[in-house]
Structure 1
């Protein structure tokens, strides 16, 4: 069976597959699937506007209501289109009510300026190619912590800094994932690299802000935790985004403590075909 988060008979109404179901509950879709679907709708709208000269530079999603297994539809609104930019909003609906919304800012690339400006040195890099060969096929994320690189989630349930390396799952069956869809979907995984600690993931993210200086070179995307702050159950995490050609941008997300429904990743393992197993360890 083809791996994808949704199926669609008409290209507009999306029906979630088992791969879109979150670890938070059997009728709860994860943010990777929902975010990817909204990015798809935004990308379709900018293409309908005929603005293929504009590149996605900022994507912000609000995940304000749990999305379930009901069919999902989308409405888009063009806020502004100009010579050098376009701003488009999208709302995801299920059973007549909104479950999430997003906006994207598309900008027109131009020549860079000549002045010198500070930038940090030392950027994250993908796993060695003998560990994670280049691919366009979806796979279980490679993870890095004090345990080194591996695809075994049980090895990384610790308090060290985390990096992930991901190959995007197509949003809709029969449609190859685009670079923007890949980045917007995988951006939800910033919660994994910033909120995963010794007891699992004890926070649920409520939003995503992704910035990009260029389109990703394909659908392989890396995330590395940069910063994290928390007080009174509200956490703010920042992650860097990169691909095999170098840095791409950043992700900032806010999260709420959700300790009563912790996702214990020390007991779960995934296969590349989407199967999940849970151990009693």
Structure 2
């Protein structure tokens, strides 16, 4: 299987099979949508020559299911100044806007003086003998009530979850970037905060990713920090980290979808994207 989420045909992104959602066979998953939008935003930043800025806050609204059909990304610079640039993007299928994103890029300088509280305990990646250092896509690692493994059935429990992943290439033949990787993986926040004993029973309607720096590579982790569920609406947050330490925070807002849960109780995958069970 081609592990790239899209192929490029003229100016259109054509989704591959690995971009297919488990909620519906004719729907793209949020990882692919977010990856495409992040690529568009990063491309626009390069076009305006602002290589001095880094992505600091990235928000995606998933307000309409994106179909397994060709799409384009349209971008607009909302504001550019010495220390920031705000860029919006929309994922279009024909004349229909199916998702939108906004990213504020900021200028790194130096930390201010003084002391401010910060957390001392942070999640760490799985041991290298379990998950060797790699920039090649592979089955995600999870940790919950069970220890780190790539076995989905082992982690269908009520435990607090972490994941460690390498971002899939967004476009076939293009080298991915750390920002594209973390932006795509951020959709997996729903997995670490909404995956329980009966599978994933909530579908996320958005992604908000706040970063203090870029990841050092394509490898990124998410660790659940909190979850609140009331009247069919769930809000979950996760710490984002890599092999160099904490990066920032990801948050998703989700709607109950209990009549059509995605269960991983009998699912196993190979690193080539093939389903074994």
Give the deviation of 1:59 after TM superposition: 0.2
Higher mean C-alpha displacement, 264-273 vs 51-60: 264-273
Q: What secondary structure, in the 3-state scheme, does the structure 1 residue paired with 2:50 have?
A: coil
Q: Which runs of 5+ in 2 are unaligned?
A: none
Give the deviation of 1:277 after TM superposition: 3.6
Give the deviation of 1:240 after TM superposition: 0.3
CA contact (8 A) 2:2 2:16 kept: no
Q: What secondary structure, in the 3-state scheme, does the structure 1 residue paired with 2:240 have?
A: strand
Trace 1:1-281 onto structure 2 (pairs within 5 A). Answer: 2-10=2-10, 12-278=11-277
Q: Distance in 2 between matches of 1:225 and 1:61?
A: 19
Q: Which runs of 5+ in 1 are unaligned?
A: none
Q: What secondary structure, in the 3-state scheme, does the structure 2 residue paired with 1:150 have?
A: coil
Q: Distance in 2 between matches of 1:89 and 1:267?
A: 40
CA contact (8 A) 1:223 1:239 kept: yes
Give the deviation of 1:267 after TM superposition: 1.8
Count of residue pairs brought into register by the alignment: 277
Q: What secondary structure, in the 3-state scheme, does the structure 2 residue paired with 1:182 have?
A: helix
Q: Deviations over 1:108-161 (max 9, x none)?
A: 001111200000111000000000000010000000011101000000000000
CA contact (8 A) 1:84 1:107 kept: yes
Q: What secondary structure, in the 3-state scheme, does the structure 2 residue paired with 1:61 have?
A: strand
Q: Which runs of 4+ in 1 moved over 6 A?
A: none
CA contact (8 A) 2:2 2:18 kept: no
CA contact (8 A) 1:142 1:164 kept: yes
CA RMSD of aligned residues (A): 0.8
Give the deviation of 1:2 after TM superposition: 4.0
Give the deviation of 1:95 after TM superposition: 2.6
Q: Distance in 2 between matches of 1:62 and 1:162?
A: 24
